Structure 1
Amino acid sequence: MADPPQYPVYHYPPQYPPYPYQFAPYPQPPRRPGLTTAAVVLMWILVGLGLLNGVLWAVSLTANADLFVRFYPGLEGWTPLVLLLSSVQALGLAALRSLFAVRIMRRSASARRGALAVEGVSIGLQVVAQMVLFSAMAPLQEGGTLTYQFDCTGIILSILVLCFLGAARSARWCDR
C-alpha cells in the first residue's frame, strides 16, 4: 500500500499586509464628530422638555386658567390665547427638533441648517415669553420689590446646540 500524499499543514493563515485606505473595496464614511452627537443628544433633551412643557401648558389651559390669571393679572383677557400659543409653540418646536435630529444623524445638511434656524427662533420666543410674563407680573406690587425667577435652561441648551452644530466639523460631516 502506498502512503497517502503528504500535504503541507499550516498552523496559521498566511499574513497579508493590510490594505491602504485608498485601496479598500468599500471606503468607510468619516466618523461623526462628537459635537454633532452632543448637539443631537441636546436636541432630544429639548424634545422631551418641549413635550412636557406643551402638555403642562395644555393642562393649565383647560384646568387652571384662573390660577394663571391670579399670577399674571396683566393678562386677564389674553389668558386663553397665551396658553394656547405656548402649548402649540412648545409641541411644534418639539416635533421640528425630533425631525431634524433624525435627519442630522443621516448627514443631512438641510436638516442642520433647519435645526440652527429652529434653535434661533426658540431663543427669540423664550426671551419674548419671559419679557411678556415679567411685564404682566410687574404691576402686581407697585412701590415694592418684585422677585422674578427666570429659568434659562432652554435658552442655554439652545445656545449649546447652535454652537455645536455651527462648528466647521459638524458642517463638514453633514454636507454629503
Structure 2
Amino acid sequence: MTLTAVILLWVGFATGICNAAVALGSFGIIRFALGTELAELGVVDLVAAGAGVVLNLAFLVLRPVFAVLIGRRSASARKGAVIAEYVYFGVSAVLLFWSMQSQFDASGESMHVSLDCTGVIAPILIIAFLEASRSKWWCSRRGGGPVS
C-alpha cells in the first residue's frame, strides 16, 4: 500500500512538470499566437489559471519530499502528505467544476475550457493508500527496510 502511494506521489510529480510546461505554453499561445492580452481573459479566468499554476508549483516541491520521507518511514510525512492531498483534491475539484461551466471571453464570445479528472482521482488514491492501517503501521515502525 505504501509503495503504491509513493509511486503515485512520483507520478504526480512527473505530471506536474508536464502541467507546468503546458500552462506556460498556453499563456504563450494566448499572448503571442492569438494576440490576446492576458488581461482580456477576465478576472475569473486569471484567478483560476493562477490557482492551478500555484497549486502545481507547490506540489512540484511537496510530492517528492513526501515520497522520500515516507520511504524513510516518517509518520509525520505520511500525515502531511494526506493533508496536502486533501487540499489538492479540494482545489482540483473546484477548478474541475469551474472548467465545466460555460465561460465568456472579453468580447462576449462563448468559450469552454476543459480539464481531465486525474487531478481529482490521484489524490483520492494517495489518501486511500496512506490512510490504510498497513501504511500507518509501516510508517510508525523504526528501521530502514524497503517500502512495502
The match for 2:144 is none
Q: Which runs of 5+ in 2 are unaligned?
A: 142-148
From 123, 138, 143, the equivalent of 1:158 is: 123
Amino acid at match of 2:69: R
TM-score of the aligned structures, taking structure 1 as reference length: 0.64
Q: 1:168 aligns to what? A: 133
Residue 105 of structure 2 is aligned to residue 140 of structure 1? no
Look up the match of 1:12.
none
Q: Call closer, same or farther: CA 1:153–1:81 in 2, change over 3 Å.
A: closer
List, as ranges, runs of 4+ consecutive aligned residues in structure 1 with deviation greater than 6 Å. none
Offset, 1:132: 1.8
Gapped regions of structure 1 (runs ≥ 5)? 1-34, 70-74, 142-146
- Higher RCO, 1 vs 2 (CA within 8 Å, ≥6 residues apart): 2
Q: Which amino acid aligns with 1:165?
A: L
Give the root-mean-square deviation of aligned CA atoms: 2.5
2:65 to 87, 90, 99: 99
Q: What pairs with 1:61-140 in structure 2 (closer than 5 Å)?
A: 61=27, 63-65=28-30, 76-78=41-43, 79-137=45-103, 140=110
Higher share in helix:
2
- The answer to whether the 8 Å contact 2:99/2:114 transfers is no
Q: How does 1:2-17 map to 2 (within 5 A)?
A: none
- Structure showing greater Rg: 1
Deviations 1:37-85 (A, max 9, x none): 0110011101111111122112222x12356x7xxxxx82224444333
For residue 44 of structure 1, what is the amino acid of its counterpart?
W
Aligned-residue sequence identity (percent) comes to 35
Aligned to 2:24: 58
